[in-house]
Amino acid sequence: MKEQSRYHRTIPELEQELRQVKAAQEDPAQFQPLYESYYKSIFVFIFRRTANEDLTADLCSTVFLKSLLHLKKFEYRKVPFSAWLFRIALNEVNMHFRKSKTARVISMDSQKIKEIAAETENPEDDKLLMASITELPPDAIQMIELRYFENRPFQEVARLLGITESNAKMKIYRILEKLKKILIKKKINFKE
């Protein structure tokens, strides 16, 4: 039997969550169960991109404040409320790094690097692959992180980025092709 995605919610779970959202839209004091359900996952999501606990706590607070302030604008679209929160978190992280002009952290897991290496047909040099990933544009790195380092299905990547699932697949494929080209160029330069 295929393992269920950790991002998937059953219809009853979505309906329960929607009741919580509607209650919070009517009375902001009812936002607490949503906050408690998602604080840890949003915190971890942000921390993987900042590697700074204080900054993560600040950004996480901003995410929940913004979500509470704009909760009336939330529209249910048969996806978990968390997709909306993660999108706000992603925007906050990106905005922070644009404003601060500091380098963004890329959380790389050695096992996940091996998966990308297999996809790019370059399994022999993890360090070269990691160096190549850092040469990608920030939005491409973000997609690599979401898809490979966080193991998110294409559907979830699409939700977080506000694109279609087929567009997410196409972009990942193009990013992997670009990564292959960077790797080839690095190998040629290394041999010279």
Give the CATH number of the domain where residue 41 resides.
1.10.1740.10
* Structure-block tokens of residue 146: 């979401």
Look up the pTM and report it.
0.73
Residue 6 lies in a domain: no
Greatest alpha-carbon span in the chain: 66
Instruction: Say yes or no: 173 and 114 in one domain.
Output: yes
Instruction: Say yes or no: 46 and 117 in one domain.
Output: no
Residue 21 lies in a domain: yes
Residue 81 lies in a domain: yes
Distance CA 40, CA 44 (A): 6
Instruction: Say yes or no: 43 and 122 in one domain.
Output: no
Task: Work out how many domains the chain is built from and give that number.
Answer: 2
Residue 1 lies in a domain: no
Q: What is the dihedral of CA 175, 179, 180, 185, to 10 degrees?
A: 140
Proportion of the chain above pLDDT 90, given as a percent: 38
Range with the poorest average pLDDT among 123-127, 165-169, 187-191: 187-191
Q: What average pLDDT does the segment 4-20 reach?
A: 73
Residue 2 lies in a domain: no
Range of the domain at 174: 110-191
Instruction: Say yes or no: 64 and 87 in one domain.
Output: yes
* Structure-block tokens of residue 12: 């009853």
For the stretch 39-91, pLDDT in tens is 999 999 999 888 899 999 999 999 999 999 999 998 887 778 888 999 999 99
Q: What is the pLDDT of residue 136?
A: 86
